Amino acid sequence: MPLRLKSFFQFLSHGLGLAWLVGCVLLAPIALAERGSHITLDEPLPQPAWELPLIANGEGTVTDSTYLGRVTYVDFWASWCGPCRLSLPALNRLSKEFDTADFGVVAISVDYVDEDALDFLKRYPVDYPVAIDKTGNSGRDFAVAGMPSGYLIGRDGLIREVHVGFRKGDEALLRAQIQALIADS
């Protein structure tokens, strides 16, 4: 057995090595989320039912059926999320590029305190509706895996794409996915 491989197995045989390996497995989704990952669903899934109070750019509540008939991007974000400083302004630009009859964006803050989300929005303002999910139920129902987590939903209410994380090149990718979904329907 080569010396490097033997040393690696000796390292793993000690508790510290095993802890390192387990840590890598557990932290991999976080690392991927930070880099940005995109999943196109082979079989579209129905979005969970949800209803949340609006805290910006609207009054009352927003629900899963508010945007039915339009391609929609549902974006889960948080005031403490670094990549959200890129994603919210990018989504704001995208929301302005498409006809509101064809496309809509709704942001769902997972902050527990309205003021935290509102302070973030003062620094990174958006024009689309922003809701808050203080209970975390919607995030659990959508199986949010990192911040930000976005769900591109077709006119039929089915989730077509899942985005975890956000980086600079993601805006162009998302634009192309939105255009394709609008053209398909």
pLDDT in tens, 102-117: 999 999 999 998 899 9
Q: List every span in the chain annotated with CATH 3.40.30.10.
A: 38-184
Distance CA 158, CA 83 (A): 26
pLDDT number for residue 169: 87
Which architecture, in CATH terms, is 38-184? Answer: 3-Layer(aba) Sandwich (3.40)
Strand order in the sheet with 37-46: 37-46, 158-164, 149-153, 71-77, 103-109, 130-132, 51-56, 61-63
pLDDT number for residue 6: 52
Ramachandran class of 155: left when φ > 0, alpha when ψ lies in -120 to 50, beta otherwise: alpha
19-59 per-position pLDDT tens digit: 433 343 333 444 444 445 888 889 999 999 999 999 999 99
Position with higher pLDDT, 26 vs 83: 83
pTM: 0.79
pLDDT number for residue 11: 47
pLDDT number for residue 37: 83
Largest interatomic CA distance in the chain = 67
